[in-house]
Amino acid sequence: MKRLKKSAVILIVLCLIVASTACSTSGGSVSQDKNPPASSTGGSAEASGEKDWTKEEIHLSIIHEHTAETAVTVASSRMYLRVQDEFAAAHPNVKLDVTALGSSEVFERLTVLAASDELPDVVYLNNAVFDAVKEDNMLLDVTEYFDKNFYRDNLRTFSYNGAVYGVPIKYTTYNYMYYNSELWKEAGYDKFPSTWDEVLKANEFFKSKGIPTILFANKLSWFALASYFNAIMHEICGTEWVEAIGAKDGSASFTDDRLVEALEKFATLRPLWNPDFISADDQWAVAELAKGKAGAHISGSWVAGSIKAHDKENPGIADIIRVAPVPTFTGVAPTVDYAVPQGFGLNVKVAKDEMKKQAAIAFLQFLGTDRYSRYMAEVGEMGPVEVNVDMSGLKPMQQDMFAVMNSHKNVPQITYNLHASVARTIDASLASFLSGSITAKECAAEIQRAYEAQLP
Amino acid sequence: MLNKRLQPRQLVMTAYMLPSFLVYFGMLIVPLIMAVTFSFYKFSNIKNLKFVGLDNYKTLFADKYVWMSLKNNLFLIVVCLIGQIGIAFVLACFLNSRYIRFAGLHRTVMYFPVTLSAVVVGYIWSMVFDYQYGMIAYLLRALGYADIVKPWLGQSDTVMFFVCIPLIWQYIGFHLVIILSAMTSIDRSVYEMAEIDGASGFRKAISITLPLIRNTLSVCVMLCISANMKVFDHIIAMTNGGPGYASSVLAVYTYKISFNEMNLGYGSALSVCIFVVTAAIFLLSRLILSNKKGEIQ
Amino acid sequence: MKGMKKSLGDYIKIILLNIVPILFSISCVIPVIWLFLSTLKTSAQFEASIIALPKSFNLENYKYVFETTPISLYIWNTLRNTAIILFLVLFFGFTNGYFFARFRFKLRSPLFGFYVSNLFIPIHALLVPTYIMFSFIGLTNKWYSTILPVASIELPVTIFLVNSYVSTIPKELEEAAAIDGSSFSRTLFSIILPIVTPVLVTAGIIAFFHCWNEFSYSLILFNKEKLYTISLALTRFKGENRIDYPKMMTAMTITMFPALMLYVSFSKQIIKGMVAGAIKG
């Protein structure tokens, strides 16, 4: 009894000590307005006029996924943080209260915050989050502050009912053929083949070397759509068909014959891939390509940076790897698919305080300038705004990538205006189909069912 | 049960048991009731709750991914009951034997896997099963059985078998520790008497140890069923439910619906489904395991 | 019995009896060792070969983690919260478990079923409702926010373990104490508690590691970085398309290390307790 009492007392004392030190420093919930009351002289100055908000101390809360660690390896994070820091330096009166989390955790937290109507001031958006909050008057309408034509996606990604609610912070293109030019030269191709038939013929050569012709890394199951199937759909089913699906007017259906044909053609590419494509991940695939252990890999605009990072262990590889457009079945030019995976919007509650609203809008506008895109261009990647790229400092593969992007039709991924549940079903059904557990018809039927369940 | 007269006054009993009851009620039951309520609505945020009655449940019954996930949960339960508890019991008997050396060290070390986070365990084992560089693939190829090597975690027909291995491996130590601590309450003299009668090790385990730790074993069974109905982190770390939904389990599916699609109404309905199914399995296991003693609680 | 001659068959049995646990124990240790060795590699070395031994005893990942992340703050937060939760869970687990094992009272079955229901509830179901409720009360974003929810989740297991264990203790103990004139509370804490120590240590270890690795509630309830626990620190290293594995594993090793040290030092206590329990009979 004595021993228990003693330990209990010690613990209680410890708790009290901790509580007294911690209590004073613990903060309130995220959305609490920490602004001082608007100054009487400032009043309600126009956004383009006096700019009194630059004199007030204003707090803006943000949650995003760009941690200092990811910034080391991921260019988009690094450049975003650079822009964010520049804003903070230009406006020292605005205190940015930043929380950075890992990429799946950030959306887990945003879900909970959105559900309880406690979003931060600056809201990190992806398609699912945007769909969840757009109808419920939780985001500030910022149409009047942005020029649609300035952006590659015309701000369509985060628009609803004609109003703009968010600005893109990333623009990613997903289907480039990164190939080992030396190996393909050995196989007899100075330029990467433009049809899948030719690639399949080259398969023999790579098999004899014991390496996969093309790596496929579908661990994050959206790769199947992004790297391959979106372009195949545009080729086999036609861009009008894809757009009809997006229009949701019932004129196009996933169970149409041409979609089934597209699926079956997709499956014919299986011999080219590594057998563990379902569980392989992109990071590993890029490493394999860099080590010379594969012929090629279809992936997105972030890969070039990774390959450059591998140059230390595999000298010269950054010059040997080149980029070509993906092949097609019929030999037509393929489409390059893009997406705006994330962006930023503003919590409608910032409008309660005019100074805060102006500061928040200024922040959003700052993010929406061409700064980010310019910084990305410096390292050979792309941003939401079209900028001039100085090709001279870039590796051949990066110059190739820009050439491919600029000379081919850029189309959004089919999922960009479909509900998240349909996107999930497409990814899962494609994976099941490619692993052989369902037929093409069944795959199409599954996707169609999910699609119909979401039709207005 | 103790004699009634040794029971303390009502007030004393309430004083001991009320605080935990209140906290437990507030932290678990109240949110659960909220979740059940939410399951009758369609919503992503509380500003816009749309009452849809039983729609979410109708969707649930018709959703084939729910049934696939449930099947996987049941598979894991059966395999882990045998694998985790069975192996743990055998190891516990070994470690409790007179002839074992370093029993304490074994007991400490065997619990190590339990202390690892599921992400680590998932990652380590997906490395072991890796098609290109995994240890098993390496061994098989070295021994000349290269054609057996397949991408096990990427094939719908083999994925569940391989997913349950890390689950078994990690939690053997958990049940081992519980069973061992129960075995310490068994008097050594009982074993000695049995040995004089000529009982073998196996006989002693089945006829003496097993009945005496029955209550503890039923706790282990309960915990195993519950954990495997709720299993989440391992699946996400190893296969993310794939390929497609081949290795999906209810908790994974619920998470994807709730947090990736923000369909919180349907997600709540799925949670209720997990609750009901787990309770049903649990009651069923009680009925099967109940015995004449009647003191099981 | 001690003087009985052992045949060859007996010796073989003894060897097998020892080999099986040894093999399993080795399999339990290897991943921990591999994890530690991986932390001595750079990201590029790691991707070059996962299984190879590190090229050198390179502690730069540790330096990085300690310098750029407030990991000692996170460890302190985790330690403090875990200690408090552990105390609550063990105290109430012990008392409730004892009551369930020894006494018949009106609400016994429903109350027990009440605690059992915890096993049926998946945690993700509770996250959104808990956050909504806490934000209404104003309990979000405090250093103690996760204590009550996590304690509630760990409590039932302790109750069950104590319950099963106490039901195997002979009633004569309490009856003898009553005859000696001991009050209820005194009997409970000075006589029963020492006997129940092995199961409390077991339950304590289980609860300790669950709290130490607890993630979901911490993610939801802690918005400010200075309140973070260790499990949240690991998320910093996960990017959308790339994970810096060696750094993440370094963070994992650092977070595991204090827990493992505590566990290993407590093991000695456990063994003592187990032996003592066996002798008492």
Q: What is the pLDDT of residue B120?
A: 80
Q: What is the ipTM of this complex?
A: 0.85
Which residue out of C184, C223, C224, C232 would a mutagenesis test of the A interface target, given it has the greatest number of A Cβ atoms within 10 Å?
C223
Residue A37 has a pLDDT of 28
Asked if B261 lies within 8 A of A116 by C-beta distance, the reply is no
Tell me whether B189 touches chain A (CB under 8 Å). no
For the cut 70, the answer to whether the pLDDT of residue A313 exceeds it is yes
Is A194 found in the same domain as A256? Answer: yes
User: Does residue A376 belong to any structural domain of this protein?
Assistant: yes
B46 falls within a domain: no
The residue written with tokens 């279809």 in the block is A298
Would you state the pLDDT for residue A51? 57
- Whole-number pLDDT of residue C4: 58
Strand partners, A168: A343
Number of H helices, E strands in chain A: 19, 14
* Chain A stretch 252-311, residues whose beta carbon is closer than 8 A to a beta carbon of chain C: 282-284, 287, 291, 302, 306, 309-310
- DSSP class per residue in B62-130: H-HHHHHHHHHHHHHHHHHIIIIIIHHHHHHHHHHSTT-SSHHHHHHHHTHHHHS-HHHHHHHHHHHT-
Residues of chain B contacting A420 with CB distance shorter than 8 Å:
260-262
> What integer pLDDT is reported at residue A50 of this predicted model?
52
Q: Give the residue from chain A lying closest to C76, CA to CA.
A: A18
- Residue % of chain A over a pLDDT of 70: 89
A307 lies in the same domain as A222:
yes
Q: Residues A80-131: pLDDT tens digits?
A: 999 999 999 999 999 999 998 888 889 999 999 999 999 999 999 998 899 8
pLDDT confidence bin for B2, thresholds 50/70/90: low
Interface mutation vs chain A, best among B43, B55, B126, B259, most A CBs within 10 Å: B259
Task: Give the pLDDT confidence score for residue A17 in this predicted structure.
Answer: 47
End-to-end CA distance of chain C: 20
Residue B273: inside a domain:
yes
Report how far residue B204's alpha carbon sits from residue B195's, in angstroms, rounded to the nearest whole number.
Answer: 8
How far lies C22's CA from each of B128, B245, C28, C268, in Å?
A: 20, 37, 10, 19
Whether residues C103 and B173 touch (CB distance < 8 A) is answered with no
Tracing tokens 């990429």 back to the chain, one arrives at A103
Partners of A220 on chain B (C-beta within 8 Å) are 240
Chain C residues within 8 A of B39 when measuring between CB atoms: none
3-state secondary structure of A346: strand
What digits encode the pLDDT tens for the residues C10-61?
Answer: 888 888 888 989 999 999 988 888 888 888 888 777 766 666 777 788 888 8
State whether A160 and A185 are in the same domain: no
Flag the least confident range among B132-146, B217-231, C164-178, C255-269. Answer: C255-269
Interface test with A, best of C90, C235, C245 (most A CBs within 10 A): C235
> Would you say residue A7 lies in a domain?
no
Assess if residue A155 is contained within a domain: yes
Q: Would B11 be classed as within a structural domain?
A: no
* Digit-coded pLDDT (tens) for C91-135: 999 999 999 988 888 888 899 999 989 889 999 999 999 999 999
> Averaged over C59-76, what is the pLDDT?
86
C34 and A CB contact within 8 Å: no
**Max avg pLDDT among A54-58, A366-370, B239-243, C268-272:** A366-370
C-alpha to C-alpha distance for A42 and A65, rounded to whole angstroms: 35
For position C70, what pLDDT does the model report? 85
A406 is a domain residue: yes
**pLDDT, tens digit, for every residue of C179-214?**
888 778 887 888 888 888 888 988 998 899 899 989
Query: In whole angstroms, what is the distance from residue A267 CA to residue A436 CA?
Result: 9
Please give the single-letter amino acid code of residue A151. Y
pLDDT at residue A45 is higher than 50: no
Query: Among candidates C172, C171, C210, C183, which has minimal Cα distance to C93?
Result: C210
Tell me whether residues C43 and A73 touch, CB distance under 8 A.
yes
User: Is there a contact between B113 and C167 if contact means CB atoms under 8 Å apart?
Assistant: no
Note whether A4 contacts C243, CB cutoff 8 Å: no
Residue B5 lies in a domain: no
> Which of A237-241, A397-401, B286-290 bottoms out in mean pLDDT, i.e. has the lowest?
B286-290
- Give residue A26's pLDDT: 39
CA of A289, closest CA in chain B: separation in Å? 14
Structural domain contains residue B219: yes
Q: What are the tens digits of pLDDT across the range A260-293?
A: 999 999 999 999 999 999 988 898 899 899 999 9
Backbone angles phi, psi at A58, to 5 degrees: -125, 140
Domain match, A202 and A122 both: no
On whether residue A243 sits in a domain, the answer given is: yes
Closest residue in C to B118 (Cα) is C213
Residue B179 lies in a domain: yes
pLDDT of amino acid A24? 38
In a domain, A48, yes or no: yes
The answer on A334 and A283 residing in a single domain is yes
Contact check, Cβ <8 Å, A129/B262: yes
User: Are C31 and B121 a contacting pair at CB < 8 A?
Assistant: yes
A263 and A135 inside one domain: no
Q: Name the residue range of residue B231's domain.
A: 56-296
How much is the pLDDT for A81? Answer: 95
Q: CB contact, 8 Å: A1 with chain C? A: yes
Q: Between vectors from CA C279 to CA C276 and to CA C281, what angle results, nearest 5°?
A: 110
A3 falls within a domain: no
Q: Report the pLDDT averaged over residues A174-199.
A: 94
CB contact under 8 A, A420 and B157: no
> Chain B residue with minimal CA distance to C102?
B1
Residues A52 and A146 in one domain: yes
* Nearest Cα to Cα of residue B154 among A432, A268, A443: A432
Is residue A153 located within the same domain as residue A204?
no
Q: Which residues of chain A are within 8 Å of residue C244 when distances are taken between CB atoms?
A: 69, 72-73
Q: Do A138 and B47 touch (CB under 8 A)?
A: yes
CA distance A241 to A251: 8
Question: How does pLDDT run across C201-249, given as a tens digit for each residue?
Answer: 889 988 998 999 899 999 999 988 889 888 887 777 766 556 677 887 8
In a domain, B20, yes or no: no
pLDDT in tens, B95-145: 888 788 888 888 888 988 988 888 888 888 888 898 888 888 888 988 988
Give A14's contacts in chain C (Cβ within 8 Å). Answer: 80, 83
CB-nearest to B264 from C114, C128, C157 is C128
Q: Is the same domain home to A224 and A325?
A: yes
Token pair 């409970």 in the structure block, residue? C188
Residue of B47, B242, B257 lying closest to A221 (CB–CB): B242
Same domain, A355 and A301: no
What integer pLDDT is reported at residue A232 of this predicted model? 95
- Nearest by CB: A115 against C84, C132, C189: C132
Q: How far is B169 from chain A (nearest CA, A)?
A: 21
Residues A359, A446, single domain; the answer is: no
**What CATH number has the domain bearing residue B240?**
1.10.3720.10
CA distance A303 to A414: 22
In a domain, A1, yes or no: no
Specify the DSSP class assigned to residue C235: G
Do the Cβ atoms of C141 and A284 come within 8 Å? no
Query: For residue range A2-44, what is the model confidence (pLDDT) as tens digits?
Result: 455 555 545 554 544 444 444 433 333 333 222 222 333 333 3
pTM of structure: 0.88
Please list, residue by residue across C254-277, b when 16 or more beta carbons sit within 10 angstroms of its beta carbon and e when fewer do.
Answer: bbbeebbebbeebbeebbebbeeb
Smallest CA-to-CA distance from A262 within A292, A300, A232, A219 is with A232
Per CB-CB distance under 8 Å, the chain B contacts of A133 are 44-45
**Number of domains chain A is built from:** 2
Same domain for A227 and A144, yes or no, is no
Does residue B246 lie in a domain region?
Answer: yes
Report the number of distinct structural domains present in chain B.
Answer: 1
Q: Percent of chain C, pLDDT > 70?
A: 89
C-contacting residues of A 12-41, CB under 8 Å?
14-15, 18-19, 22, 25-30
Q: Cβ of C128 under 8 Å from any chain B Cβ?
A: yes
CA angle in degrees (0–180, nearest 5) for B72-B76-B80: 175
Q: Do A278 and B243 touch (CB under 8 A)?
A: yes
CB distance from A240 to chain C under 8 Å? no
Record: contact B151-A108, CB cut-off 8 A: no
Domain span at residue A233? 173-338+396-453
Q: With H, G, I as helix, E, B as strand and everything else as coil, classify residue C30.
A: helix
Contact C122 B250 (CB under 8 A): yes
- Write the CATH number for A62: 3.40.190.10
Q: What is the pLDDT of residue A1?
A: 46
Tell me the two tokens of residue A424.
Answer: 């999930």
